[in-house]
Structure 1
Amino acid sequence: MIIIGAGPGGLALAHGLRRHGIDAVVHERDARAGARPQGYRIQLDEPGLTGLRHCLPTELFELCLATAGAPPARVSVRNRYLEVLADRAAAHASGTADAVGPRAFDRPTLRRIMLHGLDGQVHHGARLTSYRHEDDGRVTACFADGRTATADLIVGADGVNSTVRRLLLPEVRVEDAGLRLVYGRIPLDARAREALPDWVFESVFTVLTGGPGEAHLGLGPVQFANRPDRAGRARTPVVDLPPVGDYLACMIGAPADHPAMPATADLRALPTAALRELALRLLGGGWHEDVHRLLARWDTASLLPLRISTTGPVAPWEPGPVTLIGDAIHAMSPVLAMGANTAVRDAAELTRALAGVTGRDGSLVEAVGSYESRMRDYAFPIVAESRRTGQQRVGQR
């Protein structure tokens, strides 16, 4: 199998297939892991954690949990004065006695763990340009540097700007959700933790909304059960992880048509100091003093801009030896924190579907079709729910 993209979904799928004795090679366009900033915090709830457990070797899954935070399983929405507008259990939590509550992961740490054990199976600097169907039913991937690879199946796990989706389903459109974010971190050493208000740590994620058409603030704590480098050294064999400290993921977002918001290209060109100035200008005045205390600790060097996208309507398609998982097929706004969850669930569902396939006869296409049918049933309602919630809370289109 060929997997295009080394994000959480692609890496989970590689591990899942390997556990079932299926050869899988991941091709990633970035020159190396961490070559470009992609954010910091990933929240996994039941769907993602269950998928991760199914795909990863037990020791790696346990290391993931050991290096994750376990904040209260609640999502809070407040206004600029910190008055509570909504406070409820985290989305898609079942509430059953044996359910695992949401976990907050550091994205680079999670990726390092998921790369472990895939030596020789992940090729960086491999940008897909096209693929072709062979007479024997297999499919060949063609890369920008002239390399090719042939397999029974190509899986596009290559994100919002998926080349695989563009080739397979050119009619599908990824739409601008009309939101822009300035995303960064607030380091949480002991002094900072003591100085910050308790309400910040009482939910897995907190949204402070300025009202329709105005900016909003998002906050999510990442407090490790074990510092990643120490947890990695405690494993046999050792997993080399960076010494990341606790932090608070902090983002300021606003509608793309906000008067103070620059065009996307200009936004992406801003240096970090200018991003900070822009974010504070977008936020404006009239916010509770706790907000100003928080933002005084925002790490300017950590800031990066994000454009939020969402997938438009997708009609069922004919299954074949090319398929898609994650944001490549169902990009969604982050308001429900279900993007990574759904991508990892996709990996587990596709792994299950392919586990019983023994050849390149019709059973492979049937397995792919079965996965795609299930995926459409659970993923696209979440895309729609994310859109509705984003429209209500933060001014998404």
Structure 2
Amino acid sequence: MHQHRVIIIGAGLGGLTLAHGLRARGFDVAVYERDPHPDHRPQGYRVQLDEPGLAGLESCLPEHLFRLGLATAASPPARVSVRDRHLGVLGDRPTAPSPDPSGSTDRPHRSYAFNRPTLRQILLFGLESTVRYGAELLSWERRQDGTVAARFTDGRSANADLLVGADGVGSAVRALLLPQARVEDAGLRLIYGRIPLHPRAARAGEAGRAAEADGSADVLPPWVFDSIFTVVTGGPGSPHVGFGPVRFDRPPGEAGPAHSPAVPLAPVGDYIACMVGAPADHPDVPPFPELRGLGGPALRELAGRLMGDDWHPDVHRLLAHWDPSSLFPLRVSTARPVPPWEAGPVTLLGDAIHAMSPVLAMGANTAIRDAAELTRTLAVAADSRTPLVDAVRAYEIRMTEYAFPIVAASQRTGRQRIGQK
């Protein structure tokens, strides 16, 4: 029986999830990543996974790695809060349940806050011989026998039955496959970083509230721990700030080595992910190339200036605890829907095809859902000995049906809350 070979371009969350899923189902998989090593650039901090992403991980990962993922995730109250700049509550709702990749809606809803670097370390475990670093895609071409040949800038080449572009917003695969596809600047700039939570920092609940009432200098406002994510907004066209607590039941640096088998995980302490955003045309926001050149202290000073004196003191108090060395800027992008295209031995998943605003926290969820959906359809095709192109066609139809409505919903919500284009 022919063992299908799949090349995955990009070792992000979606690409690595797909690699695990396909390897478990007998596919020959190789992942090519342009970065020279896994820690080459910032991967971000907190990532929220709800039912679509969790169900996708569970269906693709070895059971022990999925358990370790949950063991090293935080589970704040599964609510999203929206407040005005004076901390008046504008909205407070549970995180919305969504169907899992198989279409079932009868699973209990779950929401977790993962530390993204920890989750990526877990996803890389067992794929040491599968991921090739320093491999930037140069081109690919469809061969006469229906397979695909990929070439890389360092001279390497590889052939496969299927090539999957999981290479993010600036996807080289998409540029070659769908040159008509458009990814637009959403008109938002973010400064992203961490607020470390030291052992004496405030915790949610009555103890934290009592300490706050006593005026303890190292206590953080308890409301920031009441939801999995809180947005404080100045209204459309104005700056906003978001807070997402990540407090581990067991620190990853302890949980990984104690796991069976042991998984080496870098130590990380509790923290609050904090992002300050503003429209790109805000008078205090420099052009993005200039923003990228600012160091941590300058980024923190800019964020404080964006908030202004009329924002609640709690917001400034939180930003005062921001770790300047953790800060980096981001430009938010959003994808335009793509008309149906002819299926072949090349396809896309995640931000490579449906980049979206982070306002609904669905980017990673949808990328992992893509990986699970593609794994399922390819496995069915392999088992039934039908052409993989038929599975690719089915995947692309289904993926565009569920993903682009989420892109549109993210854009609508971003316009309402934070002035996204």
TM-score range normalised by the length of the shorter chain: over 0.9
Which position in structure 1 is the counterpart of 2:71?
66
Q: Which moved more, 1:227-236 or 1:373-382?
A: 227-236
- Cα separation, 2, equivalents of 1:131 and 1:175: 25
- Cα separation, 1, equivalents of 2:384 and 2:338: 27
From 82, 92, 96, give the equivalent of 1:91.
96
Q: TM-score, normalised by structure 1?
A: 0.97
Is 1:223 equivalent to 2:247 in the alignment?
A: yes
Q: Which secondary structure does the structure 1 equivalent of 2:91 belong to?
A: strand
RMSD across aligned positions (CA) = 1.6
Which position in structure 1 is the counterpart of 2:369?
345
Is 1:136 equivalent to 2:145 in the alignment?
A: yes
- Cα separation, 2, equivalents of 1:117 and 1:82: 46
Structure 1 residue runs of 5 or longer lacking an equivalent are none
Which position in structure 1 is the counterpart of 2:327?
303
Which position in structure 2 is the counterpart of 1:254?
278
Q: How does 1:172-321 map to 2 (within 5 A)?
A: 172-193=181-202, 194=208, 195-321=219-345
- Cα separation, 1, equivalents of 2:72 and 2:282: 38
| 1:345-378 CA-partner distances (Å, limit 9, x unpaired) | 0000000000023399862111000000110110
- Cα separation, 1, equivalents of 2:75 and 2:337: 35
Structure 2 residue runs of 5 or longer lacking an equivalent are 1-5, 100-104, 203-207, 209-218
CA deviation after TM superposition for structure 1 residue 287, in Å: 1.1
Q: Which secondary structure does the structure 1 equivalent of 2:387 belong to?
A: helix
From 109, 112, 121, give the equivalent of 1:103.
112
Q: Percent identity?
A: 64
Q: TM-score, normalised by structure 2?
A: 0.92
From 2, 21, 26, give the equivalent of 2:7.
2
CA deviation after TM superposition for structure 1 residue 295, in Å: 1.1
Change over 3 Å in CA distance of 1:255–1:344 after alignment to 2: same
Which position in structure 1 is the counterpart of 2:124?
115
| 1:298-355 CA-partner distances (Å, limit 9, x unpaired) | 1111000000000012111111100000000000000000000000000000000000
- Cα separation, 2, equivalents of 1:119 and 1:196: 41
Is the contact made by 1:137 and 1:360 (CA closer than 8 Å) also made in structure 2? no
Is the contact made by 1:80 and 1:287 (CA closer than 8 Å) also made in structure 2? yes
Is the contact made by 2:304 and 2:316 (CA closer than 8 Å) also made in structure 1? no
- Cα separation, 2, equivalents of 1:186 and 1:338: 23
- Cα separation, 1, equivalents of 2:71 and 2:328: 28
- Cα separation, 2, equivalents of 1:246 and 1:351: 34
| 1:225-251 CA-partner distances (Å, limit 9, x unpaired) | 211011111112210001100000001
CA deviation after TM superposition for structure 1 residue 137, in Å: 1.2
CA deviation after TM superposition for structure 1 residue 212, in Å: 2.4
- Cα separation, 2, equivalents of 1:288 and 1:266: 29
- Cα separation, 2, equivalents of 1:313 and 1:356: 27
Q: Which secondary structure does the structure 2 equivalent of 1:85 belong to?
A: strand
Is the contact made by 2:350 and 2:366 (CA closer than 8 Å) also made in structure 1? yes
- Cα separation, 1, equivalents of 2:385 and 2:62: 29
- Cα separation, 2, equivalents of 1:321 and 1:244: 40
- Cα separation, 1, equivalents of 2:236 and 2:394: 41
How many residues were matched structurally? 397
Is the contact made by 1:187 and 1:297 (CA closer than 8 Å) also made in structure 2? yes
Which position in structure 1 is the counterpart of 2:211?
none
Q: Which amino acid aligns with 2:57?
A: L
- Cα separation, 2, equivalents of 1:342 and 1:45: 10
Q: Which amino acid aligns with 2:123?
A: M
- Cα separation, 1, equivalents of 2:107 and 2:120: 27
